[in-house]
Structure 1
Amino acid sequence: MKITASKKTIVILSISFLLSLIAGIILLYKDVIHNGIKYGKWFALDKHEGEFIDCMEYKEEENEINAICQGFLLETEEKDASKSRGKLCKEFYIVYKDYQGWQKFSPCLNKEDFIYKDILTKPNHYIPVNIHIHYTKVNPFKYKLDNITLEDMGDEDLYVELIPNNMAVQQIIRNGKMITQSNLLSEKNGYLAIETGIDNNYPYMTYFKELSLKEIDVKDGKIRLLFTGEVKQQTVTITTIAESFLFSYYDEAKKLQDILINTKNYKEITPGLLYKVYFFSLSNKENEKLEDIISSCKNDLTNKEFFDQVFCNAGEEKIRNSVISDRNTYIDTLLNQNSENLQLEKFILYSLIKLD
């Protein structure tokens, strides 16, 4: 009987030990098990993973994980390092995969571990970014946050997918708190060379954010305009000649009105006011179809869009001269040649928008 009791005790103790061991493993790797069952990801990250695991696309490699999320950087004053153990803390808002909501993500890293790839920032504004979150392995199932790289979020994702579907993003836009890289570049340089052509075709547009119109008159049958403004932190005078251009303004009912300006009605434009000024140009890739472009301008333009009318009215010589390999280099060259007076001979004036 004693032997039987001893065997039972051993069995009970063995089972208890085994259950305790299993419970310990489950407790130790509860996050791994949870992620595996819920997301199919048999690993655990750090305390932040609950803030972005629903959004992320990730690549799992031998000793690292690279997660990719879309969201917003809210650039604020750097927090007191003593409160974050010498680390720099950043504030992100990670957008869910379905674009329906977002989650705050507040990592703290060494300053050099936040890597900005051609990203401009503005305090207290939400900046749309792609967020690359790099983790390194610390044990077979556990990873720790190593660094974060920020890149510009593409316009298609921002304007086609994100903004229409996310109420939170719509709210920050209404509050004037979102700012894109395009806006930041135009604020910094005073102009922006838009990378895509109209309807993803040609021509390309370059706009100057804020120019003061000093003079407008007609000379040799063409409209001459003289502007002043800031371009790359330099005060410049800009002179341009046009056959016609579009004038846009908001009426008393806040509706946008468009007028095609020519030598007969150019006095509709008031000197001494501020305007946002758009120009057309072609890129090198249009060289091959330049003859077709010029030929299309010989068709009846009466029912064409304003941009077609303005572009074609510039004339064959001006259109041929508007091919620019790199607009930023072109403007830099003009600034270096004469930083006070820019003659934008290769640009075709498209539009003036009156600023309030």
Structure 2
Amino acid sequence: MEKEFSDKLVRGVLEEIAGEGAILDGSGDILIASSSEWEDFFRIRSKDGAGEKEIFKEGDRFYHLKKDTISAGVNSDYTLMMAEDITEKEKLSARLGRFQEFLDDVLDLMSDHVLMIDTDYTIRFMDSELEEKLNIKNPEKCHEIFGRKNPCQNCPRKALNQGRSLTGKNAERRSEEKIFMATSLVKKTGEKEPLLVELLEDLTEKRIHRAAIKYSSYHDPLTGLYNRTYMGKEIERLDTKRQLPISVIMVDVRDLQSINKKRGHDVGDELLLNTADLLRESIRSEDILSRWSGDDFLILLPQTSRKEAIKVGSRIAENTKNLFPDGDLLNLGMGLAVKMHVDQDIYGIIYRAEDNMDQRDNESF
């Protein structure tokens, strides 16, 4: 009766096993195995002390080996050994592991935001911070984010669909006042077409900061005019035969140091601001105006003869008289010099204009 009960139990257990299995008696002999091919395997594994749980590879398949004890009555303990085929689980785990590595790489590279885009330009993933920053809710297509009705010509998703390589390619993306640097990556997901991943770095604040630095490096902080550094670059750029004749007008705010001393620097600064405004209104659009030094302003007039330069200087003098008829609040001195030949030193011309300004009998204007 006990033997009949045990045989039924053994066969019932094997029928419930998901995979291959065998049941051994107390002495380690196999009572029954799920197949003859696996009988030797389980016999060997029982002799070499296999643990309760172990993963092994047999051919191109992965198995999870389990070992347990079944009690079926007095003196009737059996050992159950099972080998569950976990090949698909292992493949899935490997894919998940690779995807996790990819996500880790994305997170390492990503400075601000991430987009994941399908072959039809549909957004599969977009982080909530980017939605909030762009003030856009649930956009369907990637080009909608950047204010387009259709994909642009250099769209990385379009290029990827056409079979072109994109990994690591950088490009700017703009959305109204926001500027992003996009790094395009390709992620193979096991689907027919790979997924496009775009890492977006917000450059807006950097660009604003860079523009502010550039502006301050080329502009006078008081008047907002170009400074000597910028004018030096323009002089080098325009000092060519094609720009001849090049006229130079030097303008000086007379007695500025005395005014600062007697009436205060606020009054002196106001005079400089008034002078800057007056000069802006008096010169032509093609002329270049800068604050050359503390009380000096330099005007560069490319492709301008002495006759035409005198007209500009006369307009400055006339505007000064109209705005300050008494001459007490603003007294300007001006000097003119012209470069006529390519072998003349442009800075020598500037110094000559400064010398002419210092000559009280200079009546060019």
TM-score by length of 2: 0.32
Higher relative CO (Cα under 8 Å, sequence separation at least 6) belongs to 1
Q: Decide which structure has greater helix share.
A: 2
TM-score by length of 1: 0.32
Q: Decide which structure has greater strand share.
A: 1
